[in-house]
Chains A and B, each alone.
Chain A
Amino acid sequence: MTPPSKPQSMTELTAEPKPRTLPLRRTTVDHSRVVDDLLDRPQKVVARDVNFFYGEHHALHDVSLSIPQNCVTALIGPSGCCKSTFLRCINRMNDMIEGTRLSGQILLDDVDIYRPRTDVVELRKRVGMVFQKSNPFPKSIYENVAYGPKVAGIRQRSQLDEIVEKCLRRAALWEEVADRLAASALQLSGGQQQRLCIARALATDPDVLLMDEPASALDPKSTARIEDLIFELKDSYTIVIVTHTMKQAARVSDQTAFFYEGRLVEVGATTDVFTKPRQRQTEDYITGRFG
C-alpha cells in the first residue's frame, strides 16, 4: 500500500540523496551568520549562543543555529548529545523540568521567545511538537485531533470535523481510521499512533513543527510514509527533525546540524554535510565510525 496522495516520492526517498534545488551553500565557522546569507528565505528560528543547564549539569554549550523557513532541518548526533534538549528549547517544553535554565536567545520570527513577556501557551500553538515516544491521549481518535483546536477556542462541530479530516488526511491516516473516529486512540498500532500524534500536532496549525525521532519505533513502511509526509509538509511548515538514521537525515532534510556532547559541531546544507563534511567528528559519525 502506497500512500494515495503521493505515489511518486517512494522511489525518490529511498534513492541516494540528490542535490536539492534550494540555493543552499556550505557554511563557514560562524553558523548563524552564514546561514543567514546562505538562504534567500527568511530565518524562522534563530538560536544565539544558547547555553542550557539541567540544574548544575551544563547540557548545551554556545549553540548558534538558524533554521530557515519552509525547510527541513535535521539534528543528528550520538545518543545523549542534547538533540532533544535543543528541540525542547524551541517550544520551551524544558520549562516543565525542574531547575532548568537557559541563557542566550532563541528568536522565533525575530522575537525572543525567552523574554519575560512571552506567552508560552501562544508559543506552543505556533511551535508544534511530535514526541519521540507516541503519546496519544486515552480518548477517541477524533478527540485526540480535535483537542488542539478545542483548547484554542474552536467550538463549532462542523469546523472541528473539517480540521480532523484534513489533518488525518495529511498524516496519511484518514483511510485507516475514517470509519472508527470514535474508537480509542490506544487501540491503534504503534505506527498509527505516531501518525495520529502528527495529525494532532498539525491540527493547531503551527508555523514550526518539531519532531523528535518520529519514526524511531516504526517499521520501514510506516517510516517511508512519515518521510513522505515530512516532504509534503515542508511547503507549509518549518520542520526540525531529530533522527538517528543518517539515511533518513539525508533523505528528508535540507539542512543538517551535527551535535556532539552538547555542542553544535557543524551545520550546513545536507548534501554538503554528507558528502564533504568539514569536521573530522562529523565525518566519523556519518560514516559510522562512532556513535
Chain B
Amino acid sequence: MSLAGRGRPYAKAASAAFAYVCALCAFASVAVLLILIGQMLRFAWGWLDFQFLTSFDSQLSAHRAGVKAALVGSVYLIALTALFTVPVGVGAAVYLEEYAARSRWRGFVQTNIANLAGVPSIVYGILGLGLFVRGMHLGAGVLAGALTLSLVVLPVVILASQEALRAVPNTIRQASFALGATKWQTIWHQLLPAALPGIMTGVILAISRALGEAAPLVAIGAAGFVMFLPAGVNDKFTALPLQIYNWTENANEEFQFHVAAAGIIVLLVMLICLNAVAVYLRYRFGKRIRW
C-alpha cells in the first residue's frame, strides 16, 4: 500500500515524460519535412510558373528553362511501368497465393521476392543496361527505362497484391467453391474484386517509387538534357528526378537552386497527388467492404 503510494508519482512523471519524448520525435520528423518544403518553396518562388511547365530545358538562360520534357517523360515512364507491373505483379501474386500456396517451390520464390524488394535500385539499373539497352538493343529510350523501373518496383506490387489476397477471408473462397465455381471463376469474380483496393494501393505506392527513382535511369544512360518530347517508345527521354539532378550539377547558381527547386516542387506535387489517390482508395473501399 505505502509502496504503491510512493511509486505512483514517479511512474506518472515517467509516463508523462515518455509521452513528451514521443511527441517530440513525431514533431521533429514533421518539422524537418516542413523546413525542407519551405526552403524549396522559397527557392522556387517566382520561378515555378506556367512558362516553367511548358518550356523545354535551356542551356543558355535559367529563365527560359522548363520542365516540359521531364514532366512528359515521367508520365510516359510511369504509365508504361504500371502497364508492365500490374499484370505481371498481380499474376505472380495470384499464382503464389492461390495456386502454389502449399508447395515448397513457393517458399523459395517467396524468399527471393522479399530479397529482391531490398536490392538497391542501381543494381536494377545495371541489369537494365545489360538486358534492355544493350541485350535487346532498345537504346536508352522510354521503353528501356520503363522496363528497368518495372524490375525495381515489381516486388513491391507482388508483395502488396499477395497481402491483399491473403486478407480476403477464406469463407469467401469456400462460399464460391461450394456454389460450383471453378478456381479461375473464384479468383476473377470474388478474390480479385475483394483485393482490388489493396492491390491498387500497392500499385500506386510502387508508381510513386518509380516516379522518384533517378539511379536506375542514370545507369541505363537516360539523357539529362532533352529538347523534344519522345514520339516513340525507343526515343531518348528524360524524367523529373534526372532533370533535377542535372540542374543541380549545373555551375550556374540560378539552375542549381531556383530551377532545381521548381522541378522538385513539381515532383513533390505529383507524388502527393498519387498518395492522395492511394489514401482515397483505401478510405473509400475500406468503408464499403467490411468483413
**Chain A neighbourhood of B169, CB < 8 A:** 135
Measured between C-beta atoms, what is the minimum distance from B199 to chain A in Å?
15
Measured between C-beta atoms, what is the minimum distance from B148 to chain A in Å?
38
Partner of B181, one of A128, A147, A201: A147
**Given A138-B289, A151-B185, A184-B288: A125 touches B174 (CB 8 Å cut-off):** no
Known pairs A129-B178, A135-B174, A138-B290 / 8 extra A-B pairs, C-beta < 8 Å: A93-B177, A128-B178, A133-B171, A137-B172, A137-B175, A137-B190, A151-B179, A200-B175
Q: Does A181 touch B at the CB level, under 8 Å?
A: no
CB pair A131 B189 closer than 8 Å: no
Q: Does B96 touch A at the CB level, under 8 Å?
A: no
CB pair B177 A200 closer than 8 Å: no
**Cα of A56 to Cα of B56 in the assembled complex, Å:** 71
**Cα of A166 to Cα of B274 in the assembled complex, Å:** 46
**Cα of A139 to Cα of B176 in the assembled complex, Å:** 13
Which 5 pairs show the lowest CB-CB distances between chains A and B?
A125-B180, A135-B171, A148-B179, A129-B178, A151-B181
Query: Which residues of chain A from 91 to 135 have any CB-CB distance to chain B below 8 Å in the complex?
Result: 91, 93, 96, 98, 121-122, 124-125, 128-129, 131, 133, 135
**Given A147-B189, A186-B290: A121 touches B174 (CB 8 Å cut-off):** no
* Interface residues, chain A, with chain B CB atoms under 8 Å away: 91, 93, 96, 98, 121-122, 124-125, 128-129, 131, 133, 135-139, 147-148, 150-152, 184, 186, 197, 200-201, 203-204
**Cα of A147 to Cα of B102 in the assembled complex, Å:** 28
Q: Does B173 touch A at the CB level, under 8 Å?
A: yes
**Given A138-B194, A138-B289: A124 touches B171 (CB 8 Å cut-off):** no
**Given A135-B171, A151-B185: A201 touches B179 (CB 8 Å cut-off):** yes
**Given A96-B173, A98-B102, A186-B290: A124 touches B194 (CB 8 Å cut-off):** no
Q: Does B182 touch A at the CB level, under 8 Å?
A: yes
CB pair B172 A135 closer than 8 Å: yes
A-B contact pairs, 6 of them (CB 8 A): A125-B179, A137-B172, A138-B172, A150-B189, A151-B185, A186-B289
CB pair A200 B179 closer than 8 Å: yes
**Cα of A148 to Cα of B194 in the assembled complex, Å:** 18
Most buried by B among A98, A121, A136, A197: A121
**Given A98-B102, A138-B194: A131 touches B180 (CB 8 Å cut-off):** no
**Chain B neighbourhood of A91, CB < 8 A:** 178
Measured between C-beta atoms, what is the minimum distance from A160 to chain B in Å?
14
Measured between C-beta atoms, what is the minimum distance from A182 to chain B in Å?
13
Most buried by A among B169, B171, B180, B289: B180
**Given A98-B102, A151-B189: A135 touches B180 (CB 8 Å cut-off):** no
Measured between C-beta atoms, what is the minimum distance from A132 to chain B in Å?
10
CB pair A204 B180 closer than 8 Å: yes
**Chain B neighbourhood of A122, CB < 8 A:** 180
**Cα of A258 to Cα of B177 in the assembled complex, Å:** 28
* Interface residues, chain B, with chain A CB atoms under 8 Å away: 102, 169, 171-182, 185, 189-190, 193-194, 288-291
CB pair A128 B179 closer than 8 Å: yes
**Cα of A86 to Cα of B170 in the assembled complex, Å:** 20
**Cα of A24 to Cα of B290 in the assembled complex, Å:** 47
Which residue of chain B is the closest to A135 with respect to CB atoms?
B171
Measured between C-beta atoms, what is the minimum distance from A206 to chain B in Å?
9
**Given A96-B174, A96-B177, A135-B171: A151 touches B288 (CB 8 Å cut-off):** no
Measured between C-beta atoms, what is the minimum distance from A238 to chain B in Å?
16
**Chain A neighbourhood of B189, CB < 8 A:** 147, 150-151
**Chain B neighbourhood of A98, CB < 8 A:** 102
Measured between C-beta atoms, what is the minimum distance from B167 to chain A in Å?
12
Measured between C-beta atoms, what is the minimum distance from A96 to chain B in Å?
7
**Chain A neighbourhood of B179, CB < 8 A:** 124-125, 128, 147-148, 151, 200-201, 203-204
**Cα of A121 to Cα of B179 in the assembled complex, Å:** 8
**Cα of A121 to Cα of B91 in the assembled complex, Å:** 23
**Cα of A91 to Cα of B180 in the assembled complex, Å:** 10
Measured between C-beta atoms, what is the minimum distance from A275 to chain B in Å?
35
CB pair A151 B102 closer than 8 Å: no
Measured between C-beta atoms, what is the minimum distance from A250 to chain B in Å?
28
**Chain A neighbourhood of B176, CB < 8 A:** 137, 147, 151
**Chain A neighbourhood of B190, CB < 8 A:** 137
**Cα of A128 to Cα of B290 in the assembled complex, Å:** 25
Measured between C-beta atoms, what is the minimum distance from A180 to chain B in Å?
15
Partner of A124, one of B172, B177, B288, B291: B177
CB pair B178 A124 closer than 8 Å: yes
**Cα of A204 to Cα of B177 in the assembled complex, Å:** 12
**Cα of A124 to Cα of B186 in the assembled complex, Å:** 14
Measured between C-beta atoms, what is the minimum distance from A155 to chain B in Å?
14
CB pair A121 B178 closer than 8 Å: no
Most buried by A among B173, B181, B290: B181
**Cα of A129 to Cα of B178 in the assembled complex, Å:** 6
Partner of A135, one of B175, B182, B288: B175
**Chain A neighbourhood of B291, CB < 8 A:** 138
Measured between C-beta atoms, what is the minimum distance from A267 to chain B in Å?
25
CB pair A93 B180 closer than 8 Å: no
